[in-house]
Amino acid sequence: MTVKTPRAYWKPLAIGAPEPLREVPVKVERMIHFIPPHNEKVRAKVPELIRQVDVILGNLEDAIPADAKLAAREGFVEMVAANDFGDTGVWTRINCLNSPWMLDDVMTIMEKVGHKLDVIMLPKVEGPWDIHYLDQLLAQLEARHGITKPVMIHAILETAEGVKNVEAIATASPRMHGMSLGPADLAASRGMKTTRVGGGHPDYAVLADAGEGGPRTAYQQDLWHYTVGKMVDACLAAGIKPFYGPFGDFSDGAACEAQFRNAFLMGCVGAWSLHPSQVETAKRVFSPDAREVAFAKRILDAMPDGTGAVMIDGKMQDDATWKQAKVIWDLACQVAKRDPSKAAEYGIG
Ligand code: GLV
Ligand code: MG
């Protein structure tokens, strides 16, 4: 595929649009909290939510009925205009590119509240061409409305073609913030035989050896392992952030937590919360464990310049484990800044 030259890659795409960001801003985004912005009662709770979640996302796409699409768009504009979000992220999920709503979603939101918007989540991204289109449009609208901080793009990875093109999507533009796995649409697109929104399936299992004829245990496997791994590599190679997406069974908190934790351990930085109970789950999972943080600090302290080899509690440490420790410690410091209860747990103040 033809790619832009390095100099062209970093140029604004419209005269008067802001310079693209060189790095994704350092922000704790443990949960992207979805709300239906056409619902007045939900909008009334936004001031409270701002203090509880890392990111508030006004959803305009799936789950919003066709006859409420305009009300959701207007509700989102009203909600963003009416509140001071401080450090809490302000995102929207717009309708997909071939829908009758997408163009007006972008035009209206950029005009009315583009200066307060951090990220646009774009669903059903198939390839870099989808990112290029939105990238150009956003630059034109930033220029037109005098928006000085670039609005970033977050892609949902939820089609077979999107997964095939995940690396090209990750590097399509300096406007890329990250990506979320969309297990519902992706299952449909791939012809996977599950009706669940994320999580495992009892029939996706490995059977223990027949052995001597005793009972054979079936070990359930993670249906999403392959896709999460592919997404994490594409994102980290491109310097952008990977997220697990939705978990649909609100009655099964333990399974939600297990799915989020697998994603966290594999490299994801957050997940979606679709229900208030999932906010606490995401906070617990996507903040590093206090014991891990304490151990990471011991490694860093034992190797001040990050080289050589030392033994701690019988475990070998070297330049590579120093880097692993640094990942955990840096995340703990970021989380501690945002979340006083975690700062106390980690003893970082
Ligand atoms: C999310 O949008 C999904 O399809 O899972
Ligand atoms: Mg979807």
pLDDT tens for 199-217 read 999 999 999 988 877 889 9
Residues 252 and 306 in one domain: no
Please report, rounded to a whole number, the percentage of residues in the chain having pLDDT higher than 90: 96
- What integer pLDDT is reported at residue 210 of this predicted model? 87
Return the H-helix or E-strand segment holding 177: strand 176-181
What's the domain range around 314? 292-346
Residues 172 and 207 in one domain: yes
Q: Is the CB of 21 under 6 A from ligand 1?
A: no
Residues 246 and 335 in one domain: no
Q: Which of 260, 286, 312 is the last residue before a domain boundary? A: 286
Residue 156 CA: which ligand 1 atom is closest? 2
Q: Whose CA is nearest to atom 2 of ligand 1?
A: 182
Q: Is the CB of 158 under 6 A from ligand 1?
A: yes
Q: What is the pLDDT of residues 218-233, one digit of tens each?
A: 999 999 999 999 999 9
Residue 62 CA: which ligand 1 atom is closest? 2
Q: Whose CA is nearest to atom 3 of ligand 1?
A: 182
Residues forming beta bridges with residue 206, ordered by sequence position: 219
- Structural domains counted in the chain: 2
Residue 158 CA: which ligand 1 atom is closest? 4
Q: Is the CB of 114 under 6 A from ligand 1?
A: no
- Is residue 78 pLDDT above 90, yes or no? yes
- Is residue 76 pLDDT above 90, yes or no? yes
Q: Is the CB of 184 under 6 A from ligand 1?
A: yes
Sequence-ordered list of residues with C-beta below 8 angstroms from that of 182, at least 6 positions apart, any chain: 123, 124, 156, 157, 158, 245, 246
Residue 185 CA: which ligand 1 atom is closest? 4
Q: Is the CB of 246 under 6 A from ligand 1?
A: yes
- Over its C-alpha atoms, the chain yields an Rg (Å, rounded) of 21
Name the more confident of 276 and 211.
276
Which of 145, 143, 152, 95 minimizes the C-alpha distance to 120? 152
Triad 259, 263, 264: Cα angle to 5°: 115
- What integer pLDDT is reported at residue 305 of this predicted model? 93
- What integer pLDDT is reported at residue 159 of this predicted model? 98
Q: Is the CB of 29 under 6 A from ligand 1?
A: no
Residues 73 and 138 in one domain: yes
- Is residue 3 pLDDT above 90, yes or no? no
- What integer pLDDT is reported at residue 1 of this predicted model? 67
Q: What is the pLDDT of residues 45-73, one digit of tens each?
A: 999 999 999 999 999 999 999 999 999 99
CA of 168 to the centre of ligand 1 (A): 20
Q: CATH code at 10?
A: 3.20.20.60
Residues 173 and 58 in one domain: yes
Residues 232 and 135 in one domain: yes
Residues 297 and 181 in one domain: no
At 44, the amino acid letter reads: A
Name the token pair of 226: 């392959």
Q: Is the CB of 156 under 6 A from ligand 1?
A: yes
Q: What is the pLDDT of residues 18-28, one digit of tens each?
A: 999 999 999 99
Q: Which of 237, 252, 286 is the last residue before a domain boundary? A: 286
User: Which residue in the block uniquely carries the two structure tokens 């001597």?
Assistant: 212
Can you tell me the mean pLDDT for 311-340?
94
Can you tell me the mean pLDDT for 279-295?
96
- What integer pLDDT is reported at residue 211 of this predicted model? 82
Residues 328 and 222 in one domain: no
Name the token pair of 307: 């080289």
How far apart are the C-alpha atoms of 38 and 271, rounded to whole Å? 23
- Answer whether residue 223 is part of any domain: yes
Per the prediction, the chain carries an average pLDDT of 96
**DSSP secondary structure of 93-148:** EPPPTTSSSHHHHHHHHHHHHGGG--EEEE-S--SHHHHHHHHHHHHHHHHHHT--
Residues 35 and 162 in one domain: yes
Can you tell me the mean pLDDT for 73-95?
98
Can you tell me the mean pLDDT for 330-337?
95
Q: Whose CA is nearest to atom 1 of ligand 1?
A: 182
Ligand number with the minimum distance to the CA of 197: 1
Quote the crossing angle between the two packed helices 276-286 and 253-266, to the nearest 10°: 40
Residue 184 CA: which ligand 1 atom is closest? 5
Q: What is the pLDDT of residues 250-266, one digit of tens each?
A: 999 999 999 999 999 99
- Answer whether residue 1 is part of any domain: no
- How many CA within 13 A on the CB side of residue 25? 14
Is the CB of residue 152 less than 8 Å from the CB of residue 122?
Answer: no
Among 94, 121, 156, which residue has the most ligand 1 atoms within 8 Å of its CB, making it the best to mutate? 156
- Answer whether residue 137 is part of any domain: yes
Sequence-ordered list of residues with C-beta below 8 angstroms from that of 125, at least 6 positions apart, any chain: 131, 155, 156, 157, 158, 159, 162, 169
- For the chain, give the longest Cα–Cα distance: 74
- Answer whether residue 153 is part of any domain: yes
Residues 228 and 301 in one domain: no
